Amino acid sequence: MATFISNSPPETEAVGRRLAEDAGVGSVLALQGELGSGKTLFTKGFVAGMRSNAAVSSPTFTIVHEYRDGRLPVYHFDFFRVENRKSLERLGLDDYFFGDGVSVIEWADRFPEFIPEQARWILFEIKSENQRAITFQET
pLDDT: is 86 or 42 the higher one? 42
Q: Please tell me the predicted confidence (pLDDT) of residue 138.
A: 73
CA distance 5 to 134: 6
Determine what percent of the chain is predicted with pLDDT higher than 90: 82
How does pLDDT run across 34-82, given as a tens digit for each residue?
999 999 999 999 999 999 999 998 877 788 999 999 999 999 999 998 8
Q: Average per-residue pLDDT in the chain?
A: 93
Phi first, then psi, for residue 91 (nearest 5°) are: -75, -20
How does pLDDT run across 120-137, given as a tens digit for each residue?
999 999 999 999 999 999
CA distance 122 to 40: 12
Task: Determine contact, residues 79/110, Cβ cutoff 8 Å.
Answer: yes
Task: Determine contact, residues 45/26, Cβ cutoff 8 Å.
Answer: no
Name the pairing type of β-strands 102-106 and 28-33.
parallel
Nearest to 58 by CA among 25, 130, 115, 106: 106
Q: Which CATH number does the domain 2-136 belong to among 3.30.360.10, 3.40.50.9100, 3.40.50.460, 3.40.50.300?
A: 3.40.50.300
